[in-house]
């Protein structure tokens, strides 16, 4: 039976699913608590990774090594970059890139990881399709689109930073973990998907907007993730 790994960076991003899971056991690995159990007939491992790319990558590798997950879904919130996305809307990843990877001094485009064959990590097409189908039945009254996740160790809160990410890596939303999770999954050949609900517009009002709408956005991302898991057949 296949096992689905679910990663959220913050408590708000995992608490809704954790309350609904049938938790069988917990295990501490690399200082993180992994919740192992069942949800809607599927084996699930749920974890809070902590914020930032290093936390996310370490968490993902530990999940793969210690729990043998077959898929990984990253759920959470993000700042909207695409003009199509507003607070409360959801983005389903097509791919993910690190917007703060910069070796342009050597002539590399922003986002390109030197001496690697891939820098834009593609989400699993079957998982993307499953999420799109779940979007039709999850009951959310918001826009749900596919697009590119741009990740960096930076909370985007100025128009200048926002425009730079749009220009350099063409990101549709900005957050701090997804591309690191995608990178680890790509190295391990684990299918992945990122689902991000928009908590702010990644501009000068981002801090206040995030504080106000983070929980609402996290709940929406979690609901789509839960609906998707329920539709997965072991």
Q: At what angle do helices 178-188 and 53-67 cross, to 10 degrees?
A: 40
Residue 9's contacts (CB-CB under 8 Å, 6 or more residues apart) are: 48, 49, 50, 51, 52, 55, 56, 76, 176, 177
Pairing assessment for the beta strands 173-175 and 192-200 based on DSSP bridges: unpaired
- Structural domain of 129: 3-231
Name the percent of the chain in helix, strand, coil, to the closest 5: 40, 30, 30
* DSSP state letter for 86: -
Residues with Cβ within 8 Å of 88's Cβ and at least 6 positions away in sequence, in order, are 142, 197, 198, 213, 216, 217, 220
- For residue 117, the domain's CATH number is 3.40.50.1580
125 vs 164: CA distance, rounded Å: 28
pLDDT digits (tens, 9 = 90+) for 12-37: 999 999 999 999 999 999 999 999 99
> What digits encode the pLDDT tens for the residues 181-223?
999 999 999 999 999 999 988 776 766 678 888 899 999 999 9
Provide the pairing of β-strand 42-48 with 32-39.
antiparallel
Q: SS3 of 224, please?
A: helix
- Count how many domains the chain has: 1
Model confidence pLDDT, tens digit, residues 94-133: 999 999 999 999 999 999 999 999 999 999 999 999 999 9
Q: What's the average model confidence in pLDDT over 77-103?
A: 96
Catalytic residues: 13, 200
Task: Give the span between the Cα atoms of 79 and 62, in whole angstroms.
Answer: 27
Nearest to 59 by CA among 91, 95, 27: 27
User: pTM of the predicted model, to two decimals?
Assistant: 0.95
- N-term to C-term CA, the chain: 6
Q: Are 94 and 27 in contact (CB under 8 A)?
A: no
Chain centroid, CA 232 distance in Å: 18
Residue 62 near residue 145 (C-beta atoms within 8 A): no
């Amino acid at each position: 039976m296949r096992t689905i790994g679910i990663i959220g960076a913050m408590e708000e991003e995992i608490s809704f699913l954790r309350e609904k899971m049938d938790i069988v056991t917990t295990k501490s690995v690399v200082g993180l608590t992994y919740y192992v159990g069942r949800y809607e007939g599927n084996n699930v491992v749920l974890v809070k990774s902590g914020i930032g790319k290093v936390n996310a990558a370490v968490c993902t590798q530990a999940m793969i090594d210690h729990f043998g997950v077959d898929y990984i879904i990253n759920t959470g919130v993000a700042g909207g970059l695409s003009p199509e996305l507003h607070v409360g809307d959801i983005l389903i990843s097509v791919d993910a890139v690190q917007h703060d990877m910069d070796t342009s001094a050597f002539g590399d485009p922003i986002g390109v990881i030197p001496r690697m064959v891939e820098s834009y990590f593609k989400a699993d097409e079957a998982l993307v399709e499953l999420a799109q189908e779940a979007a039709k039945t999850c009951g959310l009254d918001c826009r749900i689109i596919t697009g590119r996740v741009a990740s960096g160790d930076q909370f985007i809160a100025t128009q200048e930073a926002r425009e730079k990410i749009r220009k350099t890596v063409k990101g549709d939303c900005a957050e701090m973990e997804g591309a690191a999770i995608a990178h680890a999954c790509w190295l391990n050949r684990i299918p992945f998907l990122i689902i991000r609900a928009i908590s702010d517009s990644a501009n000068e009002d981002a801090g206040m907007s995030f504080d106000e709408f983070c929980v609402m956005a996290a709940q929406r991302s979690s609901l789509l993730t839960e609906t998707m898991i329920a539709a997965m057949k072991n």
